[in-house]
Amino acid sequence: MRTSSKIYMVLSGVLLVILGIVCLCNTGETILSLAWLMGIFALVSGIAALMFYIAVGRSLAGRSGILLTAIMDILMGILFLANPLVVAGILPILFAFWTLFSGINIAIRSFDFKQVGFSLWWLILIMGIAGAAFGVCALINPMVAAVTITLFIGISLILRGVAYFVEVAGINKFEKVLEGKI
């Protein structure tokens, strides 16, 4: 895999971690500005994931999940940027579904890393399950989620960003297995 593809993935992880920290540090202002900020970061993350998917081609297991995540991120980014005031009102439910599906996707992809012997596959699984759990919590009680949305969003985005960093290490393992160096 090209180094640039790994850079796109790390960039996505960095942006997600930064956004998570911003959400946790600015709880009062987050809901009003979150739709716009998340729109930009989701769009950039989706484009980076799409570029990663295109660069990988058919050489990586779980590539369909990467494409699904890229499309979801791009669509969420466009939606958030086009309707920031409306999105702010329904943000808890939108975010709950986004987090739930992203978490499930990450958890499923962790087993691809396990198959090639990547020792930290379980970390990706835990982060995916944690992300999905945050999504379920927000769906169960959207009113409480509206009050605590910055906490859910901040932690979820940080987990997702860190998962990308770990996945880059896993991709390096995939490459070594494919090249027969292990």
Alpha carbon 11 to chain centroid, angstroms: 12
pLDDT at residue number 123: 95
What is the rounded distance in angstroms from the CA atom of residue 79 to the CA atom of residue 131?
A: 21
pLDDT at residue number 124: 94
pTM, two decimal places: 0.53
pLDDT at residue number 138: 81
What is the rounded distance in angstroms from the CA atom of residue 4 to the CA atom of residue 1?
A: 8
pLDDT at residue number 147: 65
Burial pattern 1-29, b for ≥16 Cβ within 10 A else e, equals: beeebbebbbbbbebbbebbebbbeeeee
pLDDT at residue number 34: 72
What is the rounded distance in angstroms from the CA atom of residue 115 to the CA atom of residue 49?
A: 22
Contact between residue 35 and residue 88 where contact means Cβ atoms under 8 Å apart: yes
pLDDT at residue number 181: 66
Which residue stretches of the chain have pLDDT < 70? Answer: 27-28, 57, 62, 143-147, 181-182
